[in-house]
Amino acid sequence: MKNVQDGVRKRQALLFSAAITLICLTLWVFFLHQNRLSQVSNGMSEMITRMIIVFNDNELIADATGVRFQQLRNANRCGEMSDFRRLDNGSWAINGDKTRLNPALGTLISRAASQDGRCMYAAAEFIRHKINELNPGEFNVHRYIIARDAEWLYWFAPEDSTLFSFSDSSMAKDPAAFFTPPVSFYDRVLQKNVRIKASSATDFYSDKITGGRAYSIVSYIYDLSGEDVSSHIVGYLLYDHSQKELGRELTNAFAGALPPGLMVSLYNLSTRESVCLTESCSWLRPQVTRQISSRYAFRYALPLYLLAIRDPAASVAIVLSPLLFLLIAFFLRKRLNLHDIKTYTDPLTGCFTRKIMEFIRNRQDEYSVVILMDCNKFKAINDTWGHGVGDRALQIIARQMMLNVRSEKDLVIRTGGDEFVILLNQTPLAEAKSIAGRVAERIVDSDFTAGGAKIPLSVSWGVSLFQGDLDETIQLADADMYRMKHELHEGDEARRAASAKKSPAGGDGAKTH
């Protein structure tokens, strides 16, 4: 049966499908974004935890080094001063010859061969080897010690010393410009707030080793030789956080894979300088700030547009959304058309009902001819054989109509009890009459029986070209059908009259014979 509102239903299906697809895609991307933000929050918490661990390790190493330094100095067991070697630039060093560095030892470079420098070298080497003994391979390569007056420097990893020179080191020239004054020993040791303790970190500077921006966490190696321990220190223990190292550590905090589109920068709260730790930090909006000390904070964002572009789950959803759109449109269109068929279809005959007429009035230009058909002597069939047989008669008539028209172009409508209207799409009048005649013949030829008796079926029909108004055209077809009924009635009357004349004559002849 023809989908009478298919064009309208197609547009409605496309509109609803677009809305549903957009809502589904938006919700998917939104919930995916929320899920990724949760992962980002967990990853950043892990990153902060890792940095706190590094800082706490630095504090422990500084305290242990300070204790060992005092033990060795008090016991006069710092080692031989002859271990110092003069370098070409005039400074003195232990394991400082760049051409013959011993990787199993640290390196100390000093302005002069000093006892404190020799004691610090012995203390730091003890701590260095103890760290490796207890935690094999876990000592941090970019950790080093600077004397409080920058008279000497010690590196846990000797290769880090190769680029150093007193003449071009800003930190060695003016340590006060890099380091904050230390608090008293007990205030430092007993302070539980890591954010306060970590405020001793340096500002950003250019790192000679990596060539990028970096900053150093700073722990104090206190002078424990006096009776009253104060804020006097022997030196500073530094651990360098370079831009590259922080980037690697950030990736490790996210189990080796950063969420696509994530932007993270390390921000100096005092100088307002920031260092980007991801591929880009060009659009940190909306951003989240996570403070790691009173001096530094992480700023990060996961822009929705970058998630949609770079996240595979979002990209797949976007790529598949047209398919979802087409599937929804297809099923919606099918459901709407099925609903129309159910609404406009007569359950007895399968034809359209009168309800379809209102819709046709808005699209009557599609049709050129109206055929009106009416079952002859239908009341007599009902009265004689009952309504069940009458219903069967209507079904036979309707089936012949629908079999002899174009299902996708023409309409068969049951407008009343035994009255039907056929609307033909772009059909000449002569062809329409031929169709009507063929339908009538097929109905007459139908094998219709009840109670073992054959019941004759026939229809009267009228045809009219569309006159611009459906109701007017139906009236014209009705008038044409009335003429056929009148002619049929006159023919029946003539046949009955002829039969009546023959009956008496035939009877007399029989009697005479």
Percent of the chain with pLDDT over 90: 67
What pLDDT does 513 receive? Answer: 37
> Residue 392 domain-assigned?
yes
How confident is the model over 7-32, as a mean pLDDT? 91
**pLDDT score of 210:** 78
Task: Indicate if 300 and 354 belong to the same structural domain.
Answer: no
Cβ 151 vs Cβ 111: under 8 Å: yes
Mean pLDDT value across residues 12-32:
93
Q: CB 429: neighbour CB atoms within 10 A?
A: 13
Question: Are residue 288 and residue 362 in the same domain, yes or no?
Answer: no
Helix (H) or strand (E) holding 153: strand 152-155
* 443-470 residue pLDDT tens: 999 989 988 899 999 999 999 998 878 8
- The whole-angstrom separation of Cα 384 and Cα 453 is 12
Per the DSSP assignment, residues forming a β-bridge with 420 are 373, 414
pLDDT (tens digit per residue) in 466-483: 887 888 999 999 999 998
CA atoms within a 13 Å half-sphere pointing along the CA-CB vector of 376: 18
Residue 207 phi/psi, 5° resolution? -90, 125
pLDDT, mean of residues 402-419: 91
Domain C-terminal end among 287, 305, 323: 305
Residue 151 domain-assigned (yes or no): yes
Residue 284: pLDDT band (50, 70, 90) is: low
At 422, which amino acid appears? I
Residues 349, 300 within the same domain:
no
Encoding tokens for residue 491?
């023919």
> Could you write out the DSSP letters of every residue in 459-503?
EEEEEEE--S-HHHHHHHHHHHHHHHHHHHHHHHHHHHHHHHHHH
Number of domains the chain is built from:
2
Share of residues in the chain with pLDDT > 70 (%): 93
Q: Kindly report, residue by residue over 121-175, the tens digit of the pLDDT.
A: 999 999 999 998 888 866 556 799 999 999 999 999 999 999 899 988 988 999 9
Amino acid, res. 294: S
Residue 287 has pLDDT above 90, yes or no: no
Q: What is the CA 354 to chain-centroid distance, rounded? A: 48
Task: Provide the pLDDT for residue 494.
Answer: 65
Q: Are residues 263 and 355 in the same domain?
A: no
> Is residue 228 located within the same domain as residue 119?
yes
CATH of the domain at 435: 3.30.70.270
Q: Pick from 49, 39, 63, 36: which is nearest to 290 by CA? A: 49
Note whether 149 and 71 are same-domain residues: yes
What is the per-residue pLDDT for 140?
Answer: 53
* Among 70-79, 165-174, 478-487, 499-508, the range of highest mean pLDDT: 70-79
pLDDT value at residue 306: 86
Mode of pairing for the β-strands spanning 419-425 and 453-454: unpaired
Residue 297 domain-assigned?
A: yes
Q: Which residue has the higher pLDDT, 461 or 496?
A: 461
Is there a domain that residue 335 lies in?
A: no
254 pLDDT higher than 50: yes
Domain extent at residue 494:
345-512
How high is the mean pLDDT of the chain?
89
Nearest to 324 by CA among 27, 31, 35, 34: 27
Please check whether residue 318 lies inside any domain of the structure: no
d(CA 442, CA 189): 109
For residue 495, what pLDDT is reported? 65
Q: What are phi and psi of 145, to 5 degrees?
A: -120, 135
CB atoms within 10 A of CB 253: 20
Average pLDDT over residues 298-326: 90
List Cβ neighbours of 6 (8 Å cut-off, separation of 6 or more). 333, 337
Least Cα distance to 287 among 276, 273, 303 occurs for 303
Residues 41 and 172 in one domain: yes
Q: Are residues 242 and 374 part of one domain?
A: no
Buried b (16+ CB within 10 A) or exposed e, 115-134: ebbbbbbbbbbbbbeebeee
Which two structure tokens, joined as six digits, stand for 314?
């979002």
252, 273, 305 - which closes a domain: 305
pLDDT for the residue numbered 2:
59
Residue 268 contacts by C-beta under 8 Å, 6 or more apart in sequence?
203, 204, 215, 274, 295, 296
Residue 326 within a domain: no
Q: Which is more confidently placed, 509 or 210?
A: 210
Q: Looking at the predicted structure, is the pLDDT value of residue 315 above 50? A: yes
DSSP string spanning 251-277?
Answer: HHHTTT-PPTT-EEEEEETTT--EEE-
The secondary element (H helix, E strand) that includes residue 147 is strand 143-147
Both 219 and 121 in a single domain? yes
Domain annotation covers residue 482: yes
Q: Average pLDDT of 33-60?
A: 95
What pLDDT, on a 0 to 100 scale, did the predictor assign at position 511? Answer: 41
| Mean pLDDT on 378-388 | 92
pLDDT at residue 113 greater than cutoff 80: yes
